[in-house]
Amino acid sequence: MIAAILFCASIVAFGQFGLYYWRVTIANTAGQQVSDRLRVAAGISTASVGSRDFRAILSVHDMTPDLRGSAGTYLAVRAYYSIVETIGRLIPAVTGWAEVEMGMCSRYVAVLVDQHLDHNMACATQMRGI
């Protein structure tokens, strides 16, 4: 019985550590600069990417070809964004936190899509040289 309790506590602690690590990784990536090319392509008129720009950025990603297959669907970030958005709508006390988290998700996806576009441009340039 004691072993089962310790095992369950270990699993919970490991899951919590994994979630915190994943969130810090997203926050670090979200802090990078986003190009004007992506903001124009997504129709973002402000100087920075906001919490409500998530779907516009994903639509830019969906319109660009992916040379690596279907690995870049961002399922975890999409799920996290949807969960936080729902929590923010249902609980008015955490609306500010939800906006900050959704903004971080939007910036994270914007950085990744920007890197994706840079990679596609580099591949196109390389193909022209062949």
Helix intervals (H) in the chain: 2-30, 36-42, 54-63, 75-90, 95-128
pTM: 0.84
Tens of pLDDT, residue by residue over 45-71, are 888 888 889 999 989 888 887 766 555
Spatial CB neighbours of 46, under 8 Å, sequence gap ≥ 6: none
